[in-house]
Amino acid sequence: MMMLSRRVVLAVPLAAAAGPGAAADDFAAATGAILRGRVPAAEGIALEIPPLSENGNSVDLSVRVDSPMTAEDHVTAIHILAEKNPFPLVATFSLTPRAGRAEVATRIRLATTQTIVAIAETSQGAVHRTAREVIVVLGACVETG
């Protein structure tokens, strides 16, 4: 009974959603706005997220960036993006050298099976990027935004 009623609730917003291209455009725009033409390094950043989630309403995620976290060289921002969410830029964490380590964790909503991207920016202007594929069995009902 519970599953049935949830499916009904999920199906309606899906039908009312914008075309599938909208999220992809937003994702590309959000990524471009962060990178601003810089080429990210693929190393020095680790994203941990379960490869399979039964429920997209709450998915644990953590990001760790290799950084000395000194005044001269520290991570200033960590961004989380979800390629197929209606709002692809899920979160931005702003850090200072006072953090000591560049490590953050949170819980996110995932609309569907997709790629999760983490991008870190440093005070020296460097960018690091990593990505993980995540299979979502029951997506969060985020289609209506």
Partner 1 sequence: MNMRALPITARITLPPSARRGEVVTVRVLVRHPMERAVDAPGLTPVPRRILHTLRVTYSGEEVFRMALSPGIAANPYLEFTTIAVETGDLVFTWEEDGGTIYRREARLVVT
Residues that bind partner 1 (CB under 8 A): 9, 12-13, 15-16, 57-59, 62, 82, 85-87, 89-96, 98-101, 103-110, 140-142, 144-145
Least distance (Å) between residue 69 CB and partner 1: 9
Calculate ∠ Cα 54-59-65, nearest 5°: 140
Nearest to 110 by CA among 62, 144, 142: 142
Q: What is the CA radius of gyration of the chain?
A: 17
Nearer to partner 1, 95 or 119 (CB): 95
Least distance (Å) between residue 50 CB and partner 1: 14
Can you tell me whether residue 42 is helix, strand or coil?
coil
Backbone angles phi, psi at 94, to 5 degrees: -105, 125
Least distance (Å) between residue 24 CB and partner 1: 16
Least distance (Å) between residue 84 CB and partner 1: 11
Calculate ∠ Cα 35-36-39, nearest 5°: 50
Nearer to partner 1, 90 or 120 (CB): 90
Nearer to partner 1, 62 or 115 (CB): 62
Task: Give the CA count within 13 Å in the CB-facing half-sphere of 64.
Answer: 5
Nearer to partner 1, 104 or 127 (CB): 104
